[in-house]
A and B are shown apart, each in its own frame.
Chain A
Amino acid sequence: MTRYFTSEHEWIDVDGNEALVGITDYAQSQLGDIVFVDVPAVGAQVTKGGDAAVVESVKAASDVYAPVSGTVTQGNAALGDDPALVNSDPEGEGWFFKLTLADPSELDGLMDAAAYQDFVATL
């Protein structure tokens, strides 16, 4: 399994053709207390860079973009009851959705953990 990062602060864990998507710890720290997460429905088609989910704090609503194109196979239902999981464990229990990759070559150009850390340091 390999973890990639986007410059829009999403992470994606890839295992074969399957992947898990969430937002980074840096992203949750910038958003503040998360109060609501709208995850995509099973079967939804998402395209790389397109809107996939919405994450809301009290005074801000942010779109979460799909790191790659694919078909959503599961949304994280736990976030409905406890959106604070995104704050407490953004890169674990606070994952957003699972998807089946449409084109694994879209992963080219995403950052690895070290590159993302360097990127965040410049912000």
Chain B
Amino acid sequence: MTLNQSGWRPEMGGASDCPLNSFTGNRALMLEEALIFEIGDSTTTGVDLAETPKVASRLGGLDRVRDIGLPGLSEPETVRHYTRLSRQNYAIDLGLFPLGSCTMKHNPRLNEKIARMTGFADVHPLQPQETVQGALAVIHELADWLVKLTGMHAVAMSPKAGAHGELCGILSIKAALEARGEDRPVVLVPESAHGTNPATAAFAGFQVESIPATPQGRVDLPALLARLGPDVAGVMITNPNTCGLFERDLKTISDAVHAAGGYVYCDGANFNAIVGRVRPGDLGVDAMHINLHKTFSTPHGGGGPGSGPVVLSEALAPFAPIPFVTKAADGSLRLIEEEMAGDALPQSFGRMTAFHGQMGMFTRALSYILSHGADGLRQVAEDAVLNANYVLRQLEDVLDAPFATSGPCMHEALFSDANLAEGFSTLDIAKGLIDEGFHPMTVYFPLVVHGAMLVEPTETESKAALDQFIGALRSVALRAKQGDPALKSAPHFAPRRRLDETLAARKPVLVWHPPELAEAAE
């Protein structure tokens, strides 16, 4: 016989020995990665280019003299760099991502495939319209769905994200008032609103006034009605609101605002809760943006791109921005830009962005919508609301739920950090959840609840995933109530421990400098 010539013999080793520090700083699959400026250099490139044509320069004497300072990496190094970075991110593909108001739902990969069809991905925005009829058809078809799902009159497709959509709605209101010859300088915004609402109204030149919330978490109706008057341009209301509740009085509010000569803007960030079950048009809304990256599943991409089409009432539709798509008598589709706007939409308030909106998001959103259909979208809202209520009722015994008696929640459940051990807060619960393998919920928002925690599970989570999340949050909440000191220093298992945000803000380092320069600047 031969006796184990290679010497290979499995051993289990001890279970408790653990070296504290590795040579590389890596911890097995948790890999550290340097900056491209530290690993790349100016002579390396990851592309092979053709010969440069030999011509006399026509750069008008502006030829670049100084180096830019761009490091290059070969393709394998590039792939490795970004793959390693990617692994330091949490993502919806990895697990439940319960960020309230952000609607982190599954991103179907069919949508990615469709957006990359060359007929959509490789088309220039200024091509002759005869050569882009299919692209215009996508915009037209999506617009039709959005109008019907919301029960509104028209839709502006070009806004680039939710806050840009808010701006579109607010400018439509301003243009409508202008057409009436009225100067109404004030926009009313509930104090529970997203920060974008007051910021948008101010960006468009309005004064913002705050409307309080009731102890039950809804808009204070008497306070709002009392403030209406000839100086009020309109109100911005989120429905379902940021406390996760449906604003029961929205129609009453709309009627009163209209009677007082104003308009109603609805922040549609939470449309996911009601899509297919409620049409905002039936509630008297004049304008509402739809975050395609929330309700209609286009990927968030680490912070964008978003897409924020705005549906408009009959009263505001004449003031919609250009460009937009219409169907001609012969069935062909036309893009209406500055040239045609004078005839097609003479009161349009103008252009908001260079081209026609987020085409790459339109294809994805329409793919999602067609996949679900009218029946499936209704089911989306129902499951989203069911999942949120399931979370709320399973956790209200361990976490303070300030509005648990205000009726069922919609798509998100709101908790607070009341009743934790002395010195423990929402921040500790969030960081503890990280160690449990979950992204934390939205924290410290809405502002009307101290130490708010807003949990939005979405409809794309299974019951098993919800049960595991509920178990994890329950465990962390109990630790916070018992005052477990380990929670104060969580997370322990993430790629980084708590980061010093004070240092980052006091001495901002926003670009990389070579070490010798960075030291000199100290």
Check B463 for interface membership: any CB of A closer than 8 A. no
Interface of B (DSSP majority class) = helix
Q: Hey, which chain A residues are within 8 Å of B506, CB to CB?
A: 33, 35-36, 83-84
Task: Report B446 CB to chain A, min CB distance, Å.
Answer: 15
Main secondary structure of the interface of A (DSSP, over half): loop
**Contacting residues, chain B, for A35 (C-beta < 8 A):** 502, 505-506
Q: Mark B481-509 against chain A: 1 for CB-CB distance below 8 A, else 0.
A: 00000000000000000000110011000
In the bound assembly, the distance between CA atoms of A56 and B505 in angstroms comes to 10
Q: Which residues of B contact A33 (CB under 8 A)?
A: 502, 506
Assembled-state Cα–Cα distance A35/B507 (Å): 8
Query: Does chain A have a CB within 8 A of B444?
Result: yes
In the complex, chain A residues whose CB is within 8 Å of the CB of B502 = 33, 35, 57-58
When chains A and B are docked, how far (Å) is the Cα of A78 from the Cα of B501?
A: 21
Q: Cα distance A65–B242 when bound, in Å?
A: 30
- Residues of A near B444 (CB, < 8 A) are 59
A1, B369: Cα distance in complex, Å:
71
Residue of B nearest to A84 (CB): B506
Bound-state Cα–Cα, A35 to B500, Å: 12
A109 to B234, CA, bound (A): 38
Provide the bound-state CA to CA distance between A59 and B444, in Å.
10
Q: Which residues of B contact A83 (CB under 8 A)?
A: 506
Bound complex: CA of A2 vs CA of B468, how far in Å? 61
Of residues 173 through 196 on chain B, the ones whose CB sits less than 8 Å from some CB of chain A are none
Closest-by-CB residue of A relative to B501 is A58
The number of residues on chain B lying at the interface, defined by a beta carbon within 8 Å of a beta carbon of chain A, is 5
Give the nearest-CB partner of A35 in chain B.
B505
A58 contact set on B, CB distance < 8 A: 501-502, 505
A-chain residues with CB within 8 Å of residue B505 when the two chains form the complex? 35-36, 56, 58
**CA distance in complex: A33, B502 (Å):** 7
From 35 to 82 in chain B, residues with beta carbon under 8 angstroms from any chain A beta carbon are none
What 1/0 flags go to B502-521 for Cβ under 8 Å of A? Answer: 10011000000000000000
CB distance from A47 to the nearest CB of B (A): 18
- Residues in B220-265 with C-beta less than 8 Å from chain A: none
Closest to A36 in B: B505
> How distant is the Cα of A100 from the Cα of B380 in the complex, in angstroms?
64
A40 to chain B, nearest CB (A): 21
Q: Mark A41-76, 1 if CB is under 8 A from B, else 0.
A: 000000000000000111100000000000000000
Docked CA distance A35–B505 (Å): 6
Closest chain-B Cβ to A29's Cβ sits at a distance in Å of 14
State in angstroms the CA–CA spacing of A36 and B502 once bound together. 10
**Interface 0/1 of B264-298, CB less than 8 Å to A:** 00000000000000000000000000000000000
**Distance, CA A116 to CA B505, complexed state (A):** 31
Q: Which residues of B contact A57 (CB under 8 A)?
A: 502
Shortest Cβ distance from residue B80 to the other chain A in the assembled complex, whole angstroms: 34
Residue in A closest to B507 when the chains form the complex, CB atoms: A35
Residues of B within 8 A of A59 (CB): 444, 501
Residue of A nearest to B444 (CB): A59
Q: Report Cα–Cα, A56/B501, bound state, in Å.
A: 13
B522 CB → nearest A CB, Å: 12
Shortest Cβ gap from A37 to chain B (Å): 11
- Give, as a whole number of angstroms, the nearest-CB distance from B450 to chain A: 13
Contacts of A84 in B (CB 8 A): 506
Residue of A nearest to B505 (CB): A35
CA separation between A56 and B502, bound complex, in Å? 10
CA–CA, A36 and B506, complex, Å: 7
Q: Name the distance in Å between A94's Cβ and chain B's nearest Cβ.
A: 14
CA A80 to CA B505, docked complex, whole Å: 13
Residues from chain A with a CB closer than 8 A to the CB of B501 are 58-59
* Chain B min CB distance to A34 (Å): 9
Q: CA–CA, A59 to B426, complex, Å?
A: 14
Whole-angstrom distance between the Cβ of B75 and the nearest chain A Cβ: 39
A61-113 at interface with B (beta carbon < 8 Å): 83-84
Bound complex: CA A33 to CA B507 (Å): 13
B506's nearest neighbour on chain A, judged by CB, is A35
State A5–B196 Cα separation when bound (angstroms). 34
In the bound assembly, the distance between CA atoms of A59 and B501 in angstroms comes to: 9
Shortest A56–chain B CB gap in Å is 8
A83 to B508 Cα, complex, angstroms: 13
Q: Which A21-38 residues have a C-beta within 8 angstroms of B?
A: 33, 35-36
Cβ–Cβ < 8 Å partners of A56 in chain B: 505
Task: State the CA gap A83–B501 with chains docked (Å).
Answer: 14
Q: Report how far A79 CA is from B501 CA in the complex, Å.
A: 19
Query: What separation, in Å, do the CA atoms of A58 and B501 have in the docked complex?
Result: 7
Residue of B nearest to A83 (CB): B506
Q: How far is the CB of B503 from chain A (nearest CB, A)?
A: 9
Cα of A33 to Cα of B501 in the assembled complex, Å: 10
6 contacts between A and B (CB under 8 A): A35-B502, A35-B506, A36-B506, A56-B505, A58-B502, A58-B505
**A-binding residues in B (CB < 8 A):** 444, 501-502, 505-506
Residues of A within 8 A of B (CB): 33, 35-36, 56-59, 83-84
Q: Which 3 pairs of residues, A with B, have the shortest CB-CB distance?
A: A35-B505, A33-B502, A58-B501
Seed contacts A35-B502, A58-B505, A83-B506; 5 additional CB < 8 Å A-B pairs? A33-B502, A35-B505, A36-B506, A58-B501, A59-B501
